Amino acid sequence: MKAAKRLLLTALILAVYLLHQDYWNWSSAELVFGFLPVGLAYHAGYSILAAVTMAVLVKTAWPKHLEDIQQQEGQDVEPPAHRL
């Protein structure tokens, strides 16, 4: 993996980690959309950000050698059936 790509992914992970520490919402009684507490709304958005971050990491940084199926001597290896 290139150094710039590694640095960007590391910065993304660090930013997501720092955003998880939402101490600024603890004492807020503000409501989003008139019914949703701001802390809960923040965590809903954070959950989406975390899911997108994991998708980016899997797409760009997943080790390719884990997906390779190598046939050993004397064994028939079938690829696993992918479930949808």
* Residue 75 reports pLDDT greater than 80: no
**pLDDT, tens digit, 9 for 90 and up, residues 10-28:** 999 999 999 998 888 888 8
Q: What is the domain extent for residue 43?
A: 3-62
Give the contacts of 26 (CB within 8 A, at least 6 positions apart).
39
In a domain, 36, yes or no: yes
Determine how many CB atoms are found less than 10 A away from the CB of residue 55.
Answer: 10
In a domain, 74, yes or no: no
The pLDDT of residue 67 is 73
Determine how many CB atoms are found less than 10 A away from the CB of residue 51.
Answer: 10
C-alpha distances in Å from residue 15, one per residue of 10, 18, 30, 52, 82: 9, 5, 25, 13, 33
The pLDDT of residue 36 is 92
In a domain, 80, yes or no: no
Cα 70 to Cα 76: distance, rounded to the nearest angstrom: 10
Total domain count, the chain: 1
**pLDDT, tens digit, 9 for 90 and up, residues 38-65:** 989 999 999 999 999 999 999 998 887 7
The pLDDT of residue 65 is 76
In a domain, 83, yes or no: no
